[in-house]
Amino acid sequence: MSSPSHLALVPFVSVKNMMALVHHIGLETFLTELTDEIEADFKRWETFDKSPRLPSHSDVGVIELMPTSDGEHYGFKYVNGHPKNMRAGLQTVTGFGVLASVDTGYPLLFTEMTLLTALRTAATSAMATRHLARKGAKTLAMIGNGAQSEFQILALKAVCGIKAVRLYDIDPSATQKCADNLARSGIELIHCRSAEEAIEGADVITTATADKNMQTILTDNMIGNGVHINAIGGDCPGKTELHRDIVARASMFLEYPAQTRIEGELQQMPLDHPFTELWQVITGQALGRRSEDEITLFDGVGFAIEDFSALRYIARKITGTSYFEHLDMIADPDEPRDLFGMLARAKSAS
């Protein structure tokens, strides 16, 4: 058993060390392993505490806490969403996370989660696509070429075998940025001038737009039979990306209904609109795609179990490496009841 002094020093993964760890593992390997980690936790979905994230909304964005526990570990993520930040040269989404021991309540890991959220979001889309897209899907339409796009594309390449990507963003410089970043990825990249052009011939469509409004990035007449859609941009109340007729026509799969009902494409639909929880497909309790012509829709808003999976993955991967530092975060008096004495002695020592 670890000594109290050891437990008081919490492993911390900075942005610098997170980037170094990803490159040490290899980005596509990281995404593949993280996809498998999330899927393993979805297979034990019923063991987790579950609740919708706790949001604090303002006129300019949202700040949220996303907690869960499997009875052995507790994890949470702090995350924001501020679309206006981009105009000031700031990230739209930032985050950090904590993994703790349920047995002691002591934190076991503190880590940046701005990068890690992008990675786990991409891994979750890849997991959904692996279970819901037609076999042999090779072409992706990536609509919204901002901070999430490259991660989405590389996860679908690594996990699902995507070979060609049709890119579109209302800002052509975002598309160029994405194409430049992936120039050596081995993926065929096609610049498109509209969403309609981007989805031509696509087997999988991923929408990842940031505007905090009710949008219709895709309309019903644009969507042909057999495609799989990852709608991941509609992640707060009043924010959607798909025309409701697409949602009505597709077979919908989602993470946690109580959260998706508030935040996802599902918020457009009546209370009796049918859906399937993704964990039930992964465990074999429900069917995924039923036919080649079926339109499948993953209404992905992001859920705390995915962050929990990412936290545990990082905690395991940093073991025995130099990709973290220790933070002196927990008070550690010689006598657990003498917190004041520890403070008093610190004054004498100074």
Active site amino acids: 235
For 299, half-sphere exposure in the C-beta direction (CA atoms, 13 angstrom radius) is: 34
Q: How far apart are CA 68 and CA 259, in angstroms?
A: 14
Angle at 48 between CA 47 and CA 52, to 5 degrees: 150
Residue tagged 């657990």 (tokens): 336
Q: What is the phi-psi region of residue 139: left when phi exceeds 0, alpha when psi lies from -120 to 50, beta otherwise?
A: beta
Q: What is the DSSP letter of 146?
A: S
H or E stretch covering 345: helix 339-349
Q: 318 in helix, strand or coil?
A: coil
158: nearest Cα among 191, 192, 182: 182
Residue 290 burial (CB count, 10 A): 9
Q: How far apart are CA 158 and CA 334, in angstroms?
A: 50
Q: How far apart are CA 127 and CA 35, in angstroms?
A: 6
Contacts (Cβ under 8 Å, ≥6 apart) of 73: 99, 100, 101, 102, 108, 308, 311, 312
Max CA-CA distance within the chain? Answer: 76
